Structure 1
Amino acid sequence: MKIDSPIPTLKGWLDTQSDDQLSIILKNRPDTVLPLPPNLGSLAARLQLRASVVRAVLKLNALELAVLEAAAKIGAELHPVAAPEVVEHVQNAFGEQTPSSQDCLNAISTLKNYALLYGDEQLMIAQETMSALPVHWTLLPELNDHGLSEEHVRESVDKLSERHRKLLGTLAASGGFGLTRDAAIDADPTRPIPQLLAAGLLARVDEQTVRLPALVRRVIEGREQLPAQVRPIPYSADPGADDTGIAAGLEVVRHMRLLIDALSHLPAPTLKVGALGVRVISRLSKELDLNEHDVARLCGLGVASGLLRRGVPDPLPTDDEGGDYIAPTPIADDWMEADLAAQLGTLMAGWWKQNFASWRVGEADEKDKPIHVLSKSSIIESLPDTRAKILSSLTRVSPDELHADLAFHYPLAASRMNPDTIAHVLEEASWIGAFAQGVTTAGQALVAGDDPAEVITAPAPVENFIVQGDFTIMVPGPLTPAMQKTMDSIAFLESSGLASVYRLSEKSIRHALDLGLTTPEILEFLSTHSLTELPQSVGYLLSDIARKHGTLRGGPALSYIRSDDPALLHSAVEAGVDVALRQIAPTVAIAQAPLLQVITVLRKAGFQPVAEDGEGASLNVAPAPARIPAAAPTPKPTVLDEGRVQAAVKAIKRENSAAQGTVSEQPTLAVLQAAVRGQKTVTLGFVDKQGIAVHRVVKPLTVNAGQVDAVDETTGAVHRFMLHRITEVIVDN
C-alpha cells in the first residue's frame, strides 16, 4: 500500500548509521536480534513491533518520556520536527523542574539509541511508540483548550448537575468524541452541550462534533496527575549496616532449617489448588514457634530457593490420602550442610526472584474467597521486577525519597506500583537482610546481578557457650550446623541475633529424649562446649527428667514393650488397643505393629517410651526424611554479549547490501492513529463500494476494529471508512 508522502522512514535512517550506533541499538533492544534479522528492513520492522516497543519504553526515565511526548505534541509522528523545537517545548512545560537544554539533548540521544526517535537534524517518532504508552499517559502539565488549570476544572466539575456529569462520563467512556447538533455556534445556549462548551469543559471540533479535553477527562475519571519528576533526585542513600543485615538474614536461615526439619518428618498436604491450607500453616506456626505470616514467608522463600517443592514425597506419610505435599528436595540436604554464607546467599537469591506475595495471604481474592499460602492468587508476576527497581532506587536515595526516585527512573512502572506493595517489599528486604538503614553489601550484589554469597562475610561459627544456673545458655555467635541442630533439640530460643540466648526446660529436654538423645549425650554436649563448669541445677534437671523418661522400653520384635513397673505397663497396654498391645508377662507386652507406630501411639496417650535394641541401647527409630525430587534447572537465557552484537551488525549489513527492494513506507494505520492523536487533517484516497477511486479531505476521530471515523472538512458530516479500502494517506502540513 503506498503512502503519498515524502516522510523519512526508520529503515532509511538505520541505513545511514555506523556499526557502533547499530550495536548500541541492538544492545538496547536485544529482543529484535534473535533470531538474526535478514536485513535492515526486517530489523526496522521488528523495532516497530508493539511488543518490542513496550519493552523499550519501560526502560525510559521521566525526562526521556517527556521529550518523547513533546515531540509527539508538535507532530513528530506525522512529519519531521527539529530538535530545538522539542527542547523548547519541554522547557516551556515545566517550572522549577525545568531540565537543561543539554539534558534534553541527552534524552533525545537516548531515544535514538533505542530507535524510538530517528533522524539527524530532523526527528521523527518510530511507529507504535506512542501507542505503546498507557492510555491517556502524559507527563507534560495539562491545560484544557481554554487554558484553565486543573484546580479550576475540578471546581467546575464539582458544581455540575448530575445530567451534565453523566454526559461528560459518557464521552469519557466512548473515546472522548461525540456527535451532536448542539455543537454549532448558534445552538441554544440553555442546552447542556453549549453550556459545557462555554465553561471550557468541552471543545468544539466542528458544527457537529465535540471533544472532551484530556484534563477534563482525567478529572471525570478520578485519575490523579502523575508527579512529573523530570530531574534526577540528588544522592541521599545511607550505607547499609551489614552486621544488622547479616544478623537478620541468619535468623531466616535458622527458621528455614527448622521448617525443613518439620517438613522432612511430616510433609504438608496441599489443597486441590496446590496451596497450603489454614490448618497446615497453624500447625507449622506452633511447631516452629513463629507467627503465621512468617511461616507463609518461609514457605514461599523455600519454594523459590528450590529447597521445597510440591509433589509426591518419598517415603509417603502414613496417613497419605493420594494428594500432593510440600516437602524438602534433595537440594535442601546440601543446603543444610553448607556454610552460613552459602545458606544465606541461596535464600537471598531465591527471595530476589520469587513472585509469591506473602502479605496477600488471608485477603479476599476475585471470588471473595480467602487467599491461601502458595495459591495462584498470592502470585504477583511483576513482583521480581518491582523488587529490583525498589532496591535499585534505594542504592541512590533514602526511603523518604524513594517514590520520587522511582517516578524519575521508572515512571511507567512506578505509576502502577501499589504503595502497600512497596511497603511490604521494604519490610521483606529488612527481614532477609538486603536492607538495614541502607542497602547492604549483599543487597547491592543482588541489584548488580552478582551472587550475594560471594560478598556475605558471615561471622565464624562458635563451638562454645556459657550454661548458667537459671537454665539459660548464652551463645556468643552462630553455631556450626551440627551444634545448631543439637541445640534446637535440647533448648528453646529466647533471644535471637548473632549472639543468642537459649533456655533449657523440662519440655525441651523431653523433646530431645524423644528424638533419641540420651541423658549422658546431652550432659556430654553441654559439658564439652560450656566455657564454664556446668551448674549443678542443670545436672539435677536432667537427672529428674531421666527418671521419668524411658521407664517404658520398646524393641523391634514386631514389637515389644517392657517396663520394670508392672502397673505402668498395664496402663500402657490399655492405651495400646489400636496397635494390639498385649501383656505377656508382668514386665513385658508385645504388639502386632511396627515399633515406631507403637511408640507414637503411647506418646500420644501421655506415656514417654523410648526405643532400644537387643542389648538395651537406645535406638533412633525416626523415619527417613521425606523428599520430593528437585525441579530441573531453568535454562539461562541467551546473553547478547559484545561479540554477538558485532557479529549481528556485520551479518545484517552484509545481507542488506545484497538484498533488492525499496524502502518500507509508513503504513496507513500508523499514520491515521497519529493523525487522531495530533488532531491533523488528512486527504484519504480510498475505493468506494462501486470500485471507484475517491479522495476526501477529513479529520480522523477514531481508528479501531478496522474502521476509521472521520469528519468531512467540507460538509461537517462524519463518515466511516473501512481500513482495507484506503489506498493512500496524505498528511496536511
Structure 2
Amino acid sequence: MKKDSPTPTLKGWLETQSDNHLSKVLRNRPDTVLPLPPNLGSLAARLQLRASVVRAVLKLNALELAVLEAAANLGAELHPVTAPEVVEHIHTVLKDFAPTQTQIMDALDTLKSFALIFGDDGLMIAQETMPALPAHWQLLPEGAGKNLTYEEAKEGVDKLSLKHRKVLGTLAASGGYGLTRDAGADADPTRPVPQLIAAGLLARVDEKTVRLPAVVRRVIEGRPQLPAQILPVPTNAAPGSEADGVAAGLEIVRTMRLLIDALSQPVPTLKEGALGVRVVSRLSKDLALEERELTRILNLGVATGLIRRGVPDPLPADDDGGNYVAPTPLADEWLEADLAHQLGALHEGWWRQTLDSWLVGQADDKDKPIHVLSKASIRESLPDVRHKVVASLTRVTTDQLGADLFFHYPLVASRITPETMTHVVEEATWIGLYAGGVTAAGHALLEGIDPAEVIKAPTPVQNFIVQGDFTIMVPGPLTPAMQKQMDAIATLESPGLASVYRLSETSIRRALDHGLTTPEILAFLTEHSMTDLPQSVGYLLSDIARKHGTLRGGPALSYIRSDDPALLHSAVEAGEDVGLRQIAPTVAIAQAPLLRVITLLRDAGFQPVAEDGDGASLNIAPEPARIPAISPPVPSPGLDETRIQAAVKAIRRENAASHGTATDQPTLAVLQAAVRGNRSVTLGFVDKQGVAVHRVVKPITVNAGQVDALDETTGAVHRFMLHRITEVIVDN
C-alpha cells in the first residue's frame, strides 16, 4: 500500500465485504445488531464502541490476541500493515516457539470476522480494540532488550537497592516510559538507569527515553506471571465414567431430599439474609453432613429454586417477624419427578449458580467471616468460569487445565486462580458432571441441552438384602417413597448406585419419634427384603420398642400418661415450662399443645410418643412450610441464521439509500495508539491566547484529560489539555 494512500476506514471495508462475511461479523458481534443499525456507517460505529469491543476480545484465544498484539506493535492502529509483516514479526520475537504461517493467517481471518482487524492488502486495527484489553496486557516478548523471563525479572528486582527499585516504581506508576539524560549508550555506567538497562530491567527506546518492560512491571506491581500458552494444548481428555457420574449425582439427589424435608420446618436467617452459625451447625448435625457439604447443597437448592429466603406459609409458632429459609412449591414437584429429571434439574441449577461455596468461612471486605447464603459469597462471574473450566476438561486432563484455559480464554483465565479451578473441578465431580472426564450430562450443558435427556438413570429397585449385622444392602436407587422410609429408619454408610445402610438404636428411635410404629418398620423390612429377616433385627426392634413409648401423650389441650408412675412423676418435674400437672398416678395434663409438650420432654431426655383418642400413634410433625417460588427470567431470543440474513439485507438496503460519510479517528484513540507505538505526531492545538499552533511531538502519556509529550527538537516535555487539541497527524 502506498504511503500517501488515504487511511482506510472500517465503514469503507465493510462496504466491500460479501454478504457471507458480513453475516460472520454479525454472528460474532450480535450486540451490534439489535436494534438494527440503519446503515453500514452506523454498524461500523457500533463495532467500535468500547463495550462491544470488550465483549468481542473476551472471545479470542491466546494466538488471536498475540496476532492482534503483533499488528499493534507494527503500528496497525495508525497505518496499514501487511499480513507477511505480521507473520515475520511473530516469528522474530517467538523464534522456536512460533506458530506456523497458516495458524497466523487463520488467526487474522478470525480477527477480521470479529471486525477487530479490517482491510485486505493492508490491515488496520479497529478503534477501541487495544484500549479494550486490560492495562499493560502483553503476550509477546519485548521487541528490544534482554527479554527476561518472569523468574529472571523477579530475581533481578529482588537484588536491587532501594534507590534502583524506586526508579522502577516511578516508571510503573507513570505509564512505563521515562525521559532521562542517562538513556544514551555513552551514559555513565555507574548511574542507576544505565545499570538497570544493562541488567535488562529497563529498555532503551532512544537516546533520551527508556521503557519499563511489561514483565518487570508485573514483578514491581506484585502481579502473577501470565502463562505463556500461545499454541493450543494437545488434546488428551478421556470420556467420563457414566456410572460414576450417575452414582455421584444420585447421592446429591438423596441429600437434597433430606434437606427439603429438614427445611420444611423453616430456619431463620440473619438480618442480611444469611444463615447463622447455630442454624448451620444444627442442620449439619441433623443431616449428618460436614458443613462444607451442607453449604454446597444449600447453595444448590437456592440456585435450583427448590429452596429460597422469604416468609413461609404457615409461619413458625415462634415467628419473630424475620425471614426464613424454606422449600418452595417447586420442591414438591421435584420430589415427584423421576430420577433423571431430578438430577438434570440439579445439574442445571449448579450450572447457573452464583453462590460460591468455598468462600464461606473466609473473611469479607470488613474482615468478618462470610456466612452461608451471604451476599458476600455471590460471584456473578462464577457461571462463566464454570462453563469454561468444564469446556476445557472436554479437551484435556486436570494437569493441563490451566494451560488449556489460558489458550482458549486468556483474558478470563488470567483472572482465575488455581484454587478456583480446583474448587470447580471438585464440585463438578461432587455433582457427577466430571468422573475422570466430562460426562454426557456435562456435554449436554455445554451444548445447551437439558441434561435429563441424556442421563441414563438406573431403574429404581423395590427390594434389598437385610443382614444379621444390621446392614441393608440396596442394589440400586430406591423409589422416592421407599427412599424416604429407608432414610427414616436407617443411616447411610456407603453411597453409590449400590448403597449400604445400617439399622441402629439411634436410627430406629428417630423413626419411632416421627410416628412410625414397630409393626410398620417390621412390615417394611419384611416386604422388601430378598431374604428372610434375620432374628437379630427383630430382637433389636422389640428391645427398642419396649423402652420407647412407655410415656404416652394426647391432645386435650394435651395429656401424657404412663404405666410407670415414677417415670411420669419425673416427666412432670421436667415439664414445668408447659404447666404439666399430674392428676393421677399414671396421667398428667398440660396447658400447652401436644407438640410443644412432646418436644420439651424429648429435649429433657425422655422418649414420649403421641397418640390419638384410641391410643394409636400419631405423627405430630407440623405441616411442611413453603415459600412462594419466583418465576425464572424469560431468556431473550438469540440471533438465529434467519434473523442474521434478514439483518444483512436490511443494512445493505438502507446503506444504499443513505449518503453518510466516515468519521475521522477520535483524537484520544490516535494519541493512545501513538504512545503504544512510540510514534511522533504533529499536534494542532489552541494556546492560552487563542492562537492555533502546530508542533511535532512524541506523546509519552495520555490520561486525566491531558497529554504529556516530548518535543524531540528541544528535549523538553510539554503538557497539552485534550480539549485544546484540534487535530492529530501521525508522521510517516
Unpaired runs of 5+ residues, structure 2, are: none
| Kept in 2: contact 1:207–1:716 (CA 8 A) | no
Moved more, 510-519 or 212-221: 212-221
User: CA 1:332–1:155 in 2, change beyond 3 Å: closer, same or farther?
Assistant: closer
CA shift, 1:448, in A, is: 1.5
CA shift, 1:421, in A, is: 0.6
**Partner in structure 1 of residue 378 of structure 2:** 379
In the alignment, is residue 52 of structure 1 matched against residue 66 of structure 2?
Answer: no
CA shift, 1:162, in A, is: 1.7
**Partner in structure 2 of residue 588 of structure 1:** 587
**Partner in structure 2 of residue 683 of structure 1:** 682
**Partner in structure 2 of residue 656 of structure 1:** 655
In the alignment, is residue 567 of structure 1 matched against residue 549 of structure 2?
Answer: no
**Partner in structure 1 of residue 409 of structure 2:** 410
**Partner in structure 1 of residue 611 of structure 2:** 612
CA shift, 1:562, in A, is: 2.4
| Kept in 2: contact 1:143–1:149 (CA 8 A) | no
User: CA 1:93–1:208 in 2, change beyond 3 Å: closer, same or farther?
Assistant: closer
% identical equivalent positions: 75
CA shift, 1:575, in A, is: 2.0
Of structures 1 and 2, the one with the larger relative CO (CA 8 A, separation 6+) is 1
CA shift, 1:63, in A, is: 1.0
In the alignment, is residue 291 of structure 1 matched against residue 284 of structure 2?
Answer: no
* 1:412-454 Cα distance to aligned partner (Å, 9 max, x none): 1121110011011111111100011111111111121211111
**Partner in structure 2 of residue 541 of structure 1:** 540
CA shift, 1:653, in A, is: 2.1
| Kept in 2: contact 1:5–1:731 (CA 8 A) | no
| Kept in 2: contact 1:206–1:716 (CA 8 A) | no
In the alignment, is residue 227 of structure 1 matched against residue 227 of structure 2?
Answer: yes
**Partner in structure 2 of residue 118 of structure 1:** 118
| Kept in 2: contact 1:54–1:132 (CA 8 A) | yes
What one-letter code is carried by the residue in structure 2 that aligns with 1:90? Answer: I
Q: Distance in 2 between matches of 1:255 and 1:32?
A: 45
CA shift, 1:661, in A, is: 2.5
Q: Secondary structure at the match of 2:97?
A: coil
**Partner in structure 2 of residue 313 of structure 1:** 312
**Partner in structure 2 of residue 176 of structure 1:** 176
User: CA 1:31–1:566 in 2, change beyond 3 Å: closer, same or farther?
Assistant: same
Q: Distance in 2 between matches of 1:393 and 1:148?
A: 30
**Partner in structure 2 of residue 669 of structure 1:** 668
| Kept in 2: contact 1:552–1:610 (CA 8 A) | yes
Q: Distance in 1 between matches of 2:34 and 2:14?
A: 18
| Kept in 2: contact 1:144–1:213 (CA 8 A) | no
Moved more, 380-389 or 75-84: 380-389
Q: Secondary structure at the match of 1:625?
A: coil
What one-letter code is carried by the residue in structure 2 that aligns with 1:611? Answer: A
What one-letter code is carried by the residue in structure 2 that aligns with 1:731? Answer: V
| Kept in 2: contact 1:143–1:150 (CA 8 A) | no
CA shift, 1:268, in A, is: 2.3
In the alignment, is residue 240 of structure 1 matched against residue 240 of structure 2?
Answer: yes
Q: Distance in 2 between matches of 1:229 and 1:125?
A: 23
Q: Distance in 2 between matches of 1:199 and 1:531?
A: 79
Q: Secondary structure at the match of 1:366?
A: coil
CA shift, 1:667, in A, is: 1.2
What one-letter code is carried by the residue in structure 2 that aligns with 1:426? Answer: V
Q: Distance in 2 between matches of 1:654 and 1:323?
A: 60
User: CA 1:182–1:259 in 2, change beyond 3 Å: closer, same or farther?
Assistant: same
User: CA 1:150–1:238 in 2, change beyond 3 Å: closer, same or farther?
Assistant: closer
User: CA 1:585–1:236 in 2, change beyond 3 Å: closer, same or farther?
Assistant: same
What one-letter code is carried by the residue in structure 2 that aligns with 1:9? Answer: T
CA shift, 1:481, in A, is: 0.4
* 1:513-565 Cα distance to aligned partner (Å, 9 max, x none): 11111111111111111111112222222222222222233222212222333
**Partner in structure 1 of residue 130 of structure 2:** 130
* 1:348-382 Cα distance to aligned partner (Å, 9 max, x none): 11111112221222222222221211222222221
User: CA 1:5–1:373 in 2, change beyond 3 Å: closer, same or farther?
Assistant: farther
Moved more, 115-124 or 445-454: 445-454
Q: Distance in 1 between matches of 2:518 and 2:351?
A: 44
Q: Secondary structure at the match of 2:699?
A: strand
Q: Distance in 2 between matches of 1:550 and 1:186?
A: 100
User: CA 1:316–1:710 in 2, change beyond 3 Å: closer, same or farther?
Assistant: same
CA shift, 1:210, in A, is: 4.0
| Kept in 1: contact 2:470–2:504 (CA 8 A) | yes
| Kept in 2: contact 1:143–1:215 (CA 8 A) | no
| Kept in 2: contact 1:312–1:628 (CA 8 A) | yes
CA shift, 1:109, in A, is: 0.6
| Kept in 2: contact 1:144–1:214 (CA 8 A) | no
Moved more, 674-683 or 448-457: 448-457
User: CA 1:142–1:180 in 2, change beyond 3 Å: closer, same or farther?
Assistant: closer
1:46-195 alignment runs, 5 A limit: 46-142=46-142, 144-145=144-145, 156-180=156-180, 190-195=190-195
Q: Distance in 2 between matches of 1:516 and 1:588?
A: 21
Q: Secondary structure at the match of 2:613?
A: coil
**Partner in structure 2 of residue 528 of structure 1:** 527
* 1:484-507 Cα distance to aligned partner (Å, 9 max, x none): 000111111121111111111221
In the alignment, is residue 709 of structure 1 matched against residue 705 of structure 2?
Answer: no
Q: Distance in 1 between matches of 2:282 and 2:541?
A: 28
Q: Distance in 2 between matches of 1:152 and 1:495?
A: 51
* 1:42-65 Cα distance to aligned partner (Å, 9 max, x none): 211111111111111111111111
**Partner in structure 1 of residue 512 of structure 2:** 513
Give me the TM-score of the superposition, normalised by structure 1.
Answer: 0.95
What one-letter code is carried by the residue in structure 1 that aligns with 2:674? Answer: A
What one-letter code is carried by the residue in structure 1 that aligns with 2:7? Answer: I
What one-letter code is carried by the residue in structure 2 that aligns with 1:86? Answer: V
Q: Distance in 2 between matches of 1:435 and 1:637?
A: 30
In the alignment, is residue 268 of structure 1 matched against residue 261 of structure 2?
Answer: no
User: CA 1:194–1:501 in 2, change beyond 3 Å: closer, same or farther?
Assistant: closer
Q: Secondary structure at the match of 1:416?
A: coil
Moved more, 32-41 or 432-441: 32-41
Q: Distance in 1 between matches of 2:146 and 2:538?
A: 89
Q: Distance in 1 between matches of 2:368 and 2:54?
A: 34
CA shift, 1:37, in A, is: 1.8
Moved more, 611-620 or 65-74: 611-620
Q: Distance in 1 between matches of 2:338 and 2:412?
A: 38
Q: Distance in 1 between matches of 2:621 and 2:9?
A: 74
CA shift, 1:302, in A, is: 0.8
Q: Distance in 2 between matches of 1:169 and 1:237?
A: 44
* 1:201-254 Cα distance to aligned partner (Å, 9 max, x none): 445566765433434434433545533322222221111100011111111111
User: CA 1:204–1:570 in 2, change beyond 3 Å: closer, same or farther?
Assistant: closer
Q: Distance in 1 between matches of 2:407 and 2:300?
A: 31
The count of residues paired between Structure 1 and Structure 2 equals 729
Q: Secondary structure at the match of 1:450?
A: coil
User: CA 1:226–1:607 in 2, change beyond 3 Å: closer, same or farther?
Assistant: closer
| Kept in 2: contact 1:208–1:717 (CA 8 A) | no
User: CA 1:338–1:151 in 2, change beyond 3 Å: closer, same or farther?
Assistant: closer
**Partner in structure 2 of residue 557 of structure 1:** 556
Unpaired runs of 5+ residues, structure 1, are: none
CA shift, 1:388, in A, is: 0.9
**Partner in structure 2 of residue 496 of structure 1:** 495
What do you get for the CA RMSD once the two structures are aligned?
2.1
Q: Distance in 1 between matches of 2:535 and 2:361?
A: 49
Give me the TM-score of the superposition, normalised by structure 2.
Answer: 0.95
CA shift, 1:150, in A, is: 6.6
Moved more, 189-198 or 363-372: 189-198
CA shift, 1:142, in A, is: 2.6
* 1:137-164 Cα distance to aligned partner (Å, 9 max, x none): 1111235446777776556544432211
User: CA 1:591–1:648 in 2, change beyond 3 Å: closer, same or farther?
Assistant: same
Q: Secondary structure at the match of 2:137?
A: coil
Q: Distance in 2 between matches of 1:619 and 1:112?
A: 74
| Kept in 2: contact 1:305–1:349 (CA 8 A) | yes
**Partner in structure 2 of residue 27 of structure 1:** 27
CA shift, 1:589, in A, is: 2.2
In the alignment, is residue 38 of structure 1 matched against residue 8 of structure 2?
Answer: no
| Kept in 1: contact 2:312–2:625 (CA 8 A) | yes
User: CA 1:312–1:674 in 2, change beyond 3 Å: closer, same or farther?
Assistant: same
User: CA 1:143–1:117 in 2, change beyond 3 Å: closer, same or farther?
Assistant: closer
What one-letter code is carried by the residue in structure 1 that aligns with 2:72? Answer: A
